[in-house]
Amino acid sequence: MSGGSITDELCAGDLMSRTFVSVAPEDTLGELSERLAKADAGSALVLEFGQLRGILTSRDTVRAVAGRVHPSAARVREWMSAAPVTAGRDLPVDDAARLMLEGGFHHLPITEDGRPVGVVGLRSVVSVLRRGFPGW
């Protein structure tokens, strides 16, 4: 290290989880919820023919339940955020944090050629930033 901080060297690809929950647009919210619970995950990437079409989070499922939809009837496509913000592996960690905080979301899909290769969570980013900036 030549005088830089830990965050100068880390990129989104270094923090991303390479395992993530994926669902299809036609899957039900019940199926999605089962997969999220089994994986202990907070989001699922919505894929169609391997391409990222959306993201659906546990907060989205809470909104659906509050709207009194039936989990076996409601489809992922009706509740997902279409065309989510994505990043490449080389996005600096502080830029990833800025994207998530300014956009108001906690899960940033990392893609290559429109295909997801991982997900970076806001908690991971904040954890690294805290190490790089003691007292933060």
**How does pLDDT run across 67-117, given as a tens digit for each residue?**
998 889 999 999 999 989 999 999 999 899 999 999 999 999 999 988 999
Q: What superfamily would CATH give domain 6-132?
A: CBS-domain (3.10.580.10)
Residue 35's pLDDT is 95
3-state secondary structure of 4: coil
Q: In what order do the strands lie in the sheet with 81-82?
A: 21-23, 43-48, 51-57, 81-82
- Give me the residue spans of the domains in the chain: 6-132
* Neighbour tally for 92: CB within 10 Å: 15
pLDDT digits (tens, 9 = 90+) for 5-32: 445 578 999 999 999 999 999 999 999 9
Model-level pTM? 0.85
How much is the average pLDDT of 25-43? 95
